[in-house]
């Protein structure tokens, strides 16, 4: 009998070309696909150009403009500034010259890379996908191993279709029970990061399992795989099930006909063996998880919405106390105030974490028939042009617009404020994104992370709000 293996190890083993050390901890890994963006790919292409190299398998790469483009409701090719224009022009030239398919800003498939790849059916169970963006882990929801790589690795990948890869240690997170109504996938991942800390999963590949994960939609699973990066995990997997197959079947780039049948057959066995060894295991009880919000400047500085801003003087660890004091100072918050009393200026529904169609439906169901609070500026930035079209076909754009939201074009937008969607200094934002670092949404801007439904509720009340009380 072969040794029992985890799903993560099966994925790495099946893509290992050769061991680079005696224990097989460092390997030459075959990578099936990548996705490129205008922000992290330029130096890689410059490297290829300078070395006179070609791209080994141009059809295994796809480019989409997402980080720097504007999201103004009327789409044009114009960029907000000179640097963004230079980045997108060079990106477009690189894709053209190296034979890589490109979704430019006016393309009907344009969108945030981690939304575009799955919706086209380009992420399949059993694949290894590496890309120049940390949230490539999103693809774990399909039983694929996705991870972010730096620019020199992008160049290595493009030239060889391989990477030098160091194995991670497998860790399992089991989420038992069922979630209470009003609690979402975002709350699971935020609760987990709060528990393990922002570097709690450093060095680990996390496998999620358990009844609460099984019960989630594929979109919800993507939210978890996307955001667990903020807990330090550089690899995430979930065993593919019937829901994954149903999600993929018929997608434009997914296999069809006999190839589909063959693929489904090949995906059997993409799960951890029963006795597979995990270096670490954590259990969460789904029924205990509450809607979460962050109060600080790190994704682990989060609490259930019913709680109060914590008091640093109660923290015994001096480093953590200092971090808390600094975070509260930056966030302009006093210890002890109720989280649901914190007034907001802005509300942002967007990002590769939470701007898929299901997220927009969730938020719209909170917003329907209501108006946003006066003084709040709220916007919805769909994760992709396709999500935007589906939402419009369902009339969700009207729901948001009638409530006072701006309905925008797709892109990363105010998730990281590389375009002209930025917070002014001191502005406070309820945001469905994944990072709340200082200045993330604009210099001096204050970010509170939460689920899209919670953002919608905050926009309506004008302060952080438990959706269940609306
Ligand atoms: C720009 C890119 C390097 C970065 C990432 O890798 O995650 C960005 O997408 C982010 O979310 O901060
Ligand atoms: S939406 Fe945000 S987290 Fe996602 S790729 Fe863009 S900047 Fe990164």
Sketch the domain layout of the chain as residue ranges: 7-168, 169-240+272-288, 293-469
Do the two domains 7-168 and 169-240+272-288 of this chain adopt the same fold? no
- Neighbouring residues of 3: CB distance < 8 A, sequence distance ≥ 6: none
pLDDT of residue 80: 84
Which ligand has its closest atom nearest to the C-alpha of 229?
1
Gap from CA of 392 to ligand 1 centroid (Å): 28
Gap from CA of 1 to ligand 1 centroid (Å): 43
Q: ipTM exceeding 0.95?
A: yes
From residue 135, give the alpha-carbon distance in Å to each of 36, 56, 109, 378, 440. 13, 24, 19, 25, 16
Q: Which residues of 82-95 are buried (b: 16+ CB within 10 A; e: fewer)?
A: eebeebbeebbebb
Gap from CA of 61 to ligand 2 centroid (Å): 19
Gap from CA of 285 to ligand 1 centroid (Å): 31
For residue 303, what is the enclosing H or E element? strand 302-304
Q: What SS3 state is found at 225?
A: helix
Architecture of domain 293-469: 2-Layer Sandwich (3.30)
pLDDT of residue 435: 98
User: Which residues carry a binding-site annotation for [4Fe-4S] cluster?
Assistant: 352, 412, 415
Question: What is the atom index within ligand 2 of the atom nearest the CA of 350?
Answer: 1
- Which of 63, 412, 418 has most ligand 2 atoms within 8 Å of CB, for mutation? 412
Strands (E), 127-237: 128-131, 145-148, 162-166, 169-176, 204-209, 236-237
- Is the CB of 352 within 6 Å of ligand 2? yes
- Which of 36, 112, 135 has most ligand 1 atoms within 8 Å of CB, for mutation? 135
pLDDT of residue 169: 98
CATH homologous superfamily of 7-168: Aconitase, domain 3 (3.30.499.10)
Mean pLDDT by 10 residues, the chain (470 residues): 93 98 97 98 98 98 97 92 96 98 98 98 98 98 98 98 98 97 97 98 98 98 98 98 98 98 96 97 97 98 98 96 98 98 98 98 98 98 98 98 98 96 98 98 98 98 96
pLDDT of residue 2: 83
From residue 211, give the alpha-carbon distance in Å to each of 139, 176, 268, 285, 286. 20, 5, 20, 10, 9
Domain 169-240+272-288 top-level CATH class: alpha beta
């Amino acid at each position: 009998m072969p040794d029992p293996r985890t799903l993560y190890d099966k994925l790495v083993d099946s893509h290992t070309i050769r061991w680079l050390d005696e224990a097989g901890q460092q390997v030459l890994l075959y990578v099936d696909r990548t996705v490129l963006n205008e922000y992290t790919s330029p130096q890689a292409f410059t490297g290829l150009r300078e070395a006179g190299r070609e791209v080994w398998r141009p059809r295994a790469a796809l480019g989409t403009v997402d980080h720097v483009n504007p999201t103004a409701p009327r789409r044009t090719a114009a960029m907000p500034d000179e640097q963004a224009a230079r980045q997108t022009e060079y990106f477009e030239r690189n894709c053209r010259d190296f034979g890589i398919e490109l979704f430019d800003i006016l393309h009907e498939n344009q969108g945030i890379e981690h939304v575009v790849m799955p919706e086209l059916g380009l992420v399949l169970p059993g694949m290894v996908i590496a890309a120049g963006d940390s949230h490539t882990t999103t693809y774990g929801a399909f039983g694929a191993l996705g991870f972010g790589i730096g620019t020199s690795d992008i160049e290595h990948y493009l030239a060889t279709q391989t990477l030098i890869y160091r194995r991670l240690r497998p860790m399992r997170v089991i989420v038992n029970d069922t979630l209470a109504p009003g609690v979402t996938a975002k709350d699971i991942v935020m609760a987990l990061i709060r528990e393990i800390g922002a570097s709690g999963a450093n060095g680990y590949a996390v496998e999620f399992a358990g009844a609460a994960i099984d019960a989630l939609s594929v979109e919800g699973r993507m939210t978890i795989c996307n955001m667990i990066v903020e807990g330090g995990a550089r690899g995430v997997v979930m065993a593919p099930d019937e829901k994954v197959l149903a999600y993929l079947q018929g997608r434009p780039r997914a296999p069809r006909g006999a190839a589909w049948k063959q693929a489904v057959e090949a995906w059997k066995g993409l799960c951890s063996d029963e006795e597979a060894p995990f270096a670490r295991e954590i259990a969460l009880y789904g029924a205990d998880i509450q809607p979460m919000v962050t109060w600080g400047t790190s994704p682990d500085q989060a609490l259930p919405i019913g709680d109060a801003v914590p008091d640093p003087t109660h923290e015994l660890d001096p480093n953590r106390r200092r971090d808390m004091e600094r975070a509260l100072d930056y966030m302009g918050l006093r210890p002890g105030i109720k989280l649901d009393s914190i007034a907001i200026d802005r509300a942002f529904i967007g990002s590769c974490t939470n701007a898929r169609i299901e997220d927009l439906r969730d938020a719209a169901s909170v917003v329907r028939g209501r108006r946003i609070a006066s003084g709040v500026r709220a916007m919805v930035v769909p994760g992709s042009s396709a999500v935007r079209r589906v939402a419009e076909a369902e009339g969700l754009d009207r729901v948001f617009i009638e409530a006072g939201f701006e309905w925008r074009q797709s892109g990363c937008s105010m998730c990281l404020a590389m375009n002209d969607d930025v917070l002014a200094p001191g502005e406070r934002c309820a945001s469905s994104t994944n990072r709340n670092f200082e200045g993330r949404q604009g210099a001096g801007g204050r970010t509170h992370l939460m689920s899209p439904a919670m953002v919608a509720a905050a926009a309506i009340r004008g302060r952080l709000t438990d959706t269940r009380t609306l």
